[in-house]
Structure 1
């Protein structure tokens, strides 16, 4: 999420309906809980420490004009630990992103087997890469960091420690599983598949680039559709490709994972996720929604327009689609249902607005594009505002058509005084997205640091203005932030390794030649990109798709004369449509979960909104000014 993540678990604490645990299983559960607490406490401290270190850096540089030379270095060291321990928390909770569309349709017995198979496949990758992570950390002992002058192994040790903890949690999860037969079959299946590939190694190497199809299409697709978390599916495919078809040392894969996960720009991912949680906790999101409702609540379809506008504003704050939807839906849905709106249409519009607002800064996808392609994040933040408005207009056209006959006899129109009062209350919340954008553009803070300004602003507003700040919720929010961030960053790490493998194979050069040579030039390239990213968005989600294909396709866009920011907006919106379009779009199911609506109910209503989104996407693609007019 950077986009809306699919947080479908592959395990968890047994419910009351689960069969009773054996004595060994109960002991394993007790150990898991203790070990889980020992991981959650430091990972929460790491999130808080990153906020403090980066905020101190901004204050020292901008207020006192004396930069702290070691702040970025310390932030980088802590960040890799945060990413790995966050991935461990996500692993324990079963919150790594995975596609469950296929597993959800099979019978309960097969579904239980696939859930365990997902765990054993993830465990296989971790066991395969763990010794190379140890070797990588040992090699970093001889390198000193420039500012703090400490061994870089202090940072690199996060990789083997995180992987080791994931091994421990996987073993504990398997030990306490109530059906040992299922566990045994899943383990044998995983071992048999890996052994088969290993035996076939001598026959695979002569196949050349055909191995790209075998591993990066066949293995990835098989793993993803079987429900293996995306990060581990990418990891297994990349490890298999490099180990069996090349002579590349596996420590190189660990290095590429490190490079992908620890890019300092990506530090904004956990910070913006935490900011989104703060916005909900302090009541700022509710204040914005209530102001919009006072303006439009008396208009036919008014609350649907409010939903579109609220998602636009909240997206400018949180950067996380799951946080956006969770902040807006509970506030609006009850009143909309009272006015006669059908829950299927509500969740369909919620999903559509999730796709519509993918380009609104500080979108995590925008930040990811900047980190992997070198496009200016400030330019991406500026270019993302108008495309979101274009799609909002097309969605509102559908809302107007559907609700042109809505009866509002029982709805009281807000007075001018009530509107003014709600505006005054909401103003600090409405101002936050503009404060964030201005701080980046004016050079007060970098795209990474600006989230800390937003966090301090939100804390101050929550305590001094809205008087809503529950200190008891901070610890769970910090842990949740680390979990979601770790799940995202591990995908970026393994996808970076896969992208490196693709580049080394020469595939990127062949793809560039093929795409550049398409008849029709820029227009054909743009059309192919739209189709490709809609498909990629529905299968891989936005961030992994961008990490894999951004470095390959953005140079081609430049070569055929397409502005990088314009191309970024088109591919982000295309991925958003794929992400929130059923039956495969996982963002749609996240919206259904947040709205507590049966996914079947929204399948038909969302078609009209998807058509509107596609019309808006075509408009953005055909009119570059929407994306680059204010650069």
Structure 2
């Protein structure tokens, strides 16, 4: 039964069938062949999968992110970061990475970060005569950090799939996101010195203060979200609602870049995005349920535990699997399908579920810009106008650099777990 299920799923995916249809159709066909269960059970499991409290925060975070992109918050963050570090050697490259980290904390979306930052920064990188390959690789890769830095939609999906605390995952994502971003910054440091990259004119204290004043409304978003969760003022779901209301206020009344007509369009776009994610979740929940019926998680768990006794080796295997999966599958779909398989094994090996979640999301962050089908490659193509065939060679060094950050996150658990332990235990 399990073999037929997987063959059907892989065949449908290779046939370019949409993922949510492939998941549901594989389950339905296998049920009809091997069991006498009513298809109504699959429907109940599908919709039961989205009837979870943790998922309530997702529509608000998506809505808030879209408001921030349209409301001018990204532009002000860019000006602020550039005034702070633009005058160092390779300063515009540092600005790109840091701006993506900050904007990732606002949007929680990797493609949105590439779009928002790439449109403004790629022309500037070319203008300052940065090597084109370096600029392309940097733009395509830097946005991936948004999957780790809270509020991350992918972390919310992992929490839903495994029952792990969203708050703890968010806190863990701070340390992991910083280390992930620092790996790229270390590479920029050596690259800038080797290639004598251009520098911006040093900003005056007046310019820095002016840009800080303009950006402070944007920078308050992650402070409100994480500060509110940390202090116990509100839950992650309530934090999502507060961030959406705050973003509307800033976009409409402070920066005044959103009117009612634009707000309506943002609402529609956010609803479409949310529906796309949730319909995928329903299919994956049905698939995960049927995997359990076919005893796949139990069989895989028993097999791995009998043959692999080292958590270090197990984590290495997870990294290899996820890096390969990330080349072909979008992060949310991969989390929903694979988290129920890895989670019980990790628990038996004594691996913290929060640490496991961060490792999985870090892998899929890299998958976002790994050839051949990393989503950010196609987003960077649309933003820069450069062909995919030229972007792919440019990102390969950034893939290797990010894998270095991934290994640090994997084998130094305190990078992820220090904050959750301090706050929640």
Q: Which TM-score band applies after superposition, normalised by the shorter structure?
A: over 0.9
Partner of 2:40: 251
Partner of 2:413: 624
Q: Distance in 2 between matches of 1:239 and 1:350?
A: 41
Partner of 1:536: 325
Trace 1:337-356 onto structure 2 (pairs within 5 A). 337-356=126-145
Largest Rg, 1 or 2: 1
> What is the Cα deviation at residue 520 of structure 1?
4.2
Q: Deviations over 1:251-271 (max 9, x none)?
A: 011001101233232132222
Partner of 1:213: 3
> What is the Cα deviation at residue 369 of structure 1?
1.1
Partner of 1:333: 122
Partner of 1:416: 205
Question: Structure 1's 526 and 408: CA in aligned 2 closer, same or farther, altered over 3 A?
Answer: closer
Q: Deviations over 1:317-355 (max 9, x none)?
A: 112222222221222222212101344433322232233
Partner SS, residue 448 of structure 1: helix
Partner of 1:80: none
Q: Deviations over 1:575-602 (max 9, x none)?
A: 2212320113233222322333211222
- Structure 1: gaps of 5 or more residues: 1-210
Query: Do 1:518 and 1:524's aligned partners in 2 also have CA atoms closer than 8 Å?
Result: no
- Structure 2: gaps of 5 or more residues: 421-425
Q: Distance in 2 between matches of 1:518 and 1:617?
A: 25
Q: Distance in 2 between matches of 1:254 and 1:587?
A: 33
Partner of 1:580: 369
Q: Deviations over 1:169-202 (max 9, x none)?
A: xxxxxxxxxxxxxxxxxxxxxxxxxxxxxxxxxx
Trace 1:98-247 onto structure 2 (pairs within 5 A). 211-216=1-6, 218-247=7-36
Question: Structure 1's 259 and 595: CA in aligned 2 closer, same or farther, altered over 3 A?
Answer: farther
Query: Do 1:349 and 1:609's aligned partners in 2 also have CA atoms closer than 8 Å?
Result: yes
Partner of 1:372: 161
Q: Distance in 2 between matches of 1:320 and 1:355?
A: 8
Partner of 1:398: 187
Partner SS, residue 629 of structure 1: helix
Partner SS, residue 583 of structure 1: coil
Partner of 1:521: 310
Partner of 1:599: 388
* Residues 1:557 and 2:346 are matched in the alignment: yes
Query: Do 2:79 and 2:211's aligned partners in 1 also have CA atoms closer than 8 Å?
Result: yes
Query: Do 2:109 and 2:147's aligned partners in 1 also have CA atoms closer than 8 Å?
Result: no
Q: Deviations over 1:190-223 (max 9, x none)?
A: xxxxxxxxxxxxxxxxxxxxx322332x222222
Query: Do 1:344 and 1:597's aligned partners in 2 also have CA atoms closer than 8 Å?
Result: no
> What is the Cα deviation at residue 547 of structure 1?
1.3
Query: Do 1:538 and 1:585's aligned partners in 2 also have CA atoms closer than 8 Å?
Result: yes
Q: Distance in 2 between matches of 1:302 and 1:449?
A: 37
Question: Structure 1's 381 and 244: CA in aligned 2 closer, same or farther, altered over 3 A?
Answer: same
Question: Structure 1's 264 and 347: CA in aligned 2 closer, same or farther, altered over 3 A?
Answer: farther
Partner SS, residue 341 of structure 1: coil
* Residues 1:319 and 2:108 are matched in the alignment: yes
Trace 1:472-511 onto structure 2 (pairs within 5 A). 472-511=261-300
Q: Distance in 1 between matches of 2:368 and 2:309?
A: 28
Partner of 2:423: none
